A and B are shown apart, each in its own frame.
Chain A
Amino acid sequence: MIATVLLASQRLVHLSFVDFVIIIFYFALVLAIGLYLKRQANTGEDFFLAGREMTAWVAGLAFLSANLGSLELMGWAGNAYKYGILAAHWYWIGAIPAMLFLALVMIPFYHICKTHSVPGYLKLRYGESSRAFSAICFGVMTVLMSGINMYAMAVVMKVVLGWDMNFSIWVSSITVAIYVALGGLRSAIFNEVLQFFLIWAGALLIPILGLIEAGGWSGLQARILHNLTELNVPHAGAYTHLWSTLGDFGNNPMGINWIGIVFGLGAVISMGYWTTDFLVVQRILAAKDLRSAELAPIIGSVFKMAVPFIVILPGLLGLGLLPIRLVDAGLAWSPAGQAQGLHGYDEVLPLMLARYCGPGLLGLGVTALIAGFMSGMAGNVSAFATVWTYDIYGALIHKNATDEWKVKMGRWSTIIGIFVSIGAAYIAKGKPSIMDYVQELFSFFIAPLFGTVLIGMLWKRATAAGGFWGLFTGTASSIGMYTWVKVDPSAVRYVAFSMQAQTQAQNMFRALWCALIGVFVTVVVSYMTKPKTDAELANVVYGLTPIPKTEHVSIFHRPLFWAAVVAVVFVILQIIFW
């Protein structure tokens, strides 16, 4: 059967027998875990929150792994090739402060109010309308994004391995559907931890061997400068500097400035994603106690800080070591590009894999990519199943559903969510440009959500109407600005303050604006409407939520201590790569 799906004439790597054995063993193991855990998913708490009994390490690794999709790995390695080390901002300032903020400021509220989901928190804080709006946006966004990622993964598998796209889509999706539908969040988390280790085991060898070949970091810097100067690439010296070229939009390959990175990415987009996207927050809600829940994002942040070693560095190694020049995916994957043997930016990670890894190691590397895809997809469907069951079906359709019924609905919505995602993958196959827009647009629904959740946690005067209209206008303004720039490209000078602002810069500024608009509307409407009583806000708002004291815990077990350690390492990294 395997032979029949390997039909494409062009592929980057050729797998041997031992590679296939490793890949098949991986699939067998994840299915076995799902089957084994089926008997542990009997109640709603078991199925949707893994019984709330995860340790800090398990919750922390699953929290990170749900975000470590293969497209994340290959996409950001490709971005590192395209934009240089600036891509590392999405792992450092674009993640670490937000993860620490989640741990120290927001987790106590999520944990103490015992919500099942982020829309569930909005219900407790603002009311049913905010929950319904947020849940519907999240549900639609999650299955569509899952489908788009599925399609993109299938394209990569076709280009890299020559696998038939239908084969990749159906085999991976059905495997995920089986193990999540059987074991619920517990099964998803178990597999995410397993996938975390496989991703590192499969990807870590590339930077190690790459740095040996390049002669260390300084040798790599010299090679990149030499290669790009020879090719007359603008800003050749900017590809290995993190901050020193961000004074102006025109000084760096990304066309962005420090304001966009610090405020758009660091203060809004990353805060929104890491603190309110239920895909990742759900793993933290499964922690067994408050201290574990607080430590989990901090543990995740340690590994997140290290991810550039297996993602950004291979992209830079590609710039310095590969004898060919990679191009945009649209050109590379077009018939003309394929005829010329061109390769896209996103292929840099598989290219480096093929450069260093022979039989066996190649199987492990490909398994790492598949594991990344499956962990991301399992994250999407398990989060979708929870939001659908509790916040849409249970809140709007069948309000008196029993716990047993919710578990059944969770299993079915997992399977249906997968099939809808597969449908979205085929829509993406037919209309890739439209789905690209959808993906770009949906990613900014999260920015206004962050503003609304944060103001709700920290300001007890915020009202139900304020929360809903803030969320609604923030989201509408995101869509409005996106459409405005699409219809009139010159509008970018208003949205991002510069005609030189490239796509990433526009994204950062749009997120910043829509979060500010959401917060502004929340405040104004709140002052015009009647607030909830203190009793109604107990356990969901700062000042009305009793936070357990940690004086009796040694300093080495305190989340604040480890957050400080992570913050210091984060600052040191910025200085080293300045």
Chain B
Amino acid sequence: MKAGGSLSIWFFVGLSLGVTGALILIQGIYELAHPPEYQTVLSQLHANVWWGALLTIMGGAYCIHFRPGKKSE
């Protein structure tokens, strides 16, 4: 479904996941170099790196596939 004939709802979803994921990923990479003073449980799994990466990839894929001007939905 599209809004205003140009922007798909899924583009907004992609934008949201992509930007949020990228911020989490950057924070995760920063923490690899500068471990925080307060460690969460299972912090050794570096969830912010792989979860942030996953959201970034998902969001990016949505943004590209449903980018403004593309014909298919």
A-to-B contact residues, CB < 8 Å: 18, 21-22, 25-26, 29, 33, 36-37, 39-40, 53-55, 58, 186, 190, 193-194, 197-198, 201, 205, 209, 212-213, 354-361, 363-364, 367
Chain A residues with CB under 8 Å of B42's CB are: 209, 212-213, 356
- B13 with A360: CB separation less than 8 A: no
A21→B21 CA distance, assembly (Å): 12
B contact residues around A363 at 8 Å (CB):
20, 23-24
Extra 13 A-B pairs, beta carbons < 8 Å, given A54-B1, A212-B45: A22-B20, A33-B12, A58-B1, A58-B9, A194-B9, A194-B12, A194-B13, A212-B42, A355-B40, A358-B27, A358-B38, A360-B26, A360-B52
Which residues of chain B are within 8 angstroms of A198 by Cβ–Cβ distance?
16-17, 20
The residue in chain A whose Cβ has the minimal distance to the Cβ of B15 is A29
Contact surface of B with A, Cβ cutoff 8 Å: 1, 3-4, 7, 9, 12-13, 15-17, 19-21, 23-24, 26-28, 31, 36, 38-43, 45, 47-48, 51-52, 55
Whether A53 and B1, one on each chain, are in contact in the complex, defined by CB atoms closer than 8 angstroms, is: yes
Q: Whole-angstrom distance from the CB of A177 to the nearest CB of chain B? A: 20
Nearest CB in chain A: distance from B5 CB, A: 9
- Chain A neighbourhood of B45, CB < 8 A: 209, 212
Q: How far is the CB of A314 from chain B (nearest CB, A)?
A: 13
The smallest C-beta distance from A208 to any residue of chain B, in angstroms, reads 8
Minimum Cβ distance to chain A for residue B65 (Å):
14
Chain B residue at minimum C-beta to C-beta distance from A367: B20
Which of A36, A193, A205, A357 touches B7 (beta carbons < 8 Å)? A36
CA distance A209 to B26 in the complex (A): 21
Q: A197-B16, A364-B24 are in contact. Are A209 and B3 (CB under 8 A)?
A: no
With a cutoff of 8 Å between Cβ atoms, the chain A residues found around residue B21 in the complex are 201
Q: Check A361/B51 contact, CB under 8 A, given A29-B12, A193-B13, A197-B13.
A: yes
A-B contact pairs, 23 of them (CB 8 A): A22-B20, A22-B23, A25-B20, A26-B20, A33-B12, A36-B7, A40-B4, A55-B1, A58-B9, A190-B3, A193-B13, A197-B17, A198-B16, A198-B20, A209-B41, A209-B47, A213-B42, A355-B41, A356-B40, A358-B31, A358-B40, A360-B26, A360-B27
Residues of B within 8 Å of A205, CB to CB, are 47, 51
Contact A359 B36 (CB under 8 A): yes
* Chain B positions within 8 Å of A197 at CB level: 13, 16-17
Shortest B69–chain A CB gap in Å is 15
Task: Name which of A198, A213, A360 has the most chain B CB atoms within 10 A of its CB.
Answer: A360
Q: Is the CB of B23 within 8 A of A18?
A: yes
Contact A358 B48 (CB under 8 A): yes
Residues of A with C-beta under 8 A to B51: 205, 361
| With A40-B4, A212-B45 as contacts: A21 and B15 at CB distance below 8 Å | no
Q: Which of B16, B31, B41 is close to A194, meaning CB atoms less than 8 Å apart?
A: B16
Chain A residues in 8 Å Cβ range of B52: 360-361
Contact: A358 with B43, CB < 8 Å?
yes
Report the bound CA distance from A193 to B43 in whole Å.
Answer: 31
**Chain B, residue nearest A352 (CB):** B41
**For the complex, what is the distance from the CA of A347 to the CA of B23, rounded to whole Å?**
26
Chain B neighbourhood of A364, CB < 8 A: 20, 24
